[in-house]
Structure 1
């Protein structure tokens, strides 16, 4: 499961649809603890908020907004709650790690998008997040 901190404008079709599916799964797990991947490390930052269900719903809303802009049809009614009042924090180290991970995927799957974004030093974050200085998140499982 990858719940990206990167703005969905950078995603190829595969990343956008996968993030949507995985976000819906995360929403189910947060709404009904004990289901599925309830101990998945990427859920930690959503659970740490005052309103975890609104946090994941706001994350999903950002994906639907991007899908709408591309003419895709994601079912917004699947979002249980949204409009979280506060933004979540993401470290610049985490955002950089995810950016590198996404660029590697784009290079393999969608070279034309990789070409478009490869010179971008740091992407914008998903609208849910505010970037702060810091390392890769403690819940991240970096690959070698």
Structure 2
């Protein structure tokens, strides 16, 4: 499960669809409708909110808005609490940078044209998040060594 901190505009089509599906699963987990994935680290930041279902609903709203811009048909009725809000959850610079590097590696493999479009861009977060100073989040399970990544995902 990957619930990206980066703005959904940076995701390729496959990534946007996968994020939508995985975040719907996260919504089900947070609502207590499934027994799987209950300890998934990606859910820590949503559980820490006063209204976890509203927070994940705000995240899903951002995804469906991006899907609409691209002409995709995501079913908005699947969002339990479609909250339109901005910057509720802090995301560290280190986390955003780590995810940016991770996303770039995925895009180079499966969507090189999308990777090229975003190569020299500074990533922005999903509108639910606000950037704060700090390293990769404690809940992240890093693949590549995050110490070699600069503050926004480039080589240090």
Q: Per the shorter chain, which TM-score range?
A: over 0.9
Instruction: Give distance in 1, aligned partners of 2:133 and 2:119.
Output: 22
> Which residues of structure 2 form unaligned runs of 5+?
145-156
Shift of 1:100: 0.2
Whole-angstrom distance in 1 between the partners of 2:43 and 2:116: 31
Q: What is the Cα deviation at residue 82 of structure 1?
A: 2.8
Q: 1:39: which partner in 2? A: 39
- Specify the alignment match of 1:106 in structure 2: 107
How far has the Cα of 1:87 moved from its partner? 1.1
TM-score of the superposed pair, with normalisation by structure 1: 0.95
- Compute the displacement of 1:35 (Å): 1.9
Query: What is the rounded CA distance, in whole Å, between the counterparts of 1:135 and 1:49 in structure 2?
Result: 20
Q: Does 1:117 align with 2:118?
A: yes
User: How many residues align structurally?
Assistant: 143
Q: TM-score, normalised by structure 2?
A: 0.88
1:81 aligned counterpart, secondary structure: coil
5+ residue gaps, structure 1: none
Rounded to whole Å, the distance in 2 between the matches of 1:117 and 1:105 is 12
Q: How does 1:1-144 map to 2 (within 5 A)?
A: 1-32=1-32, 35-83=35-83, 87-120=88-121, 122-144=122-144
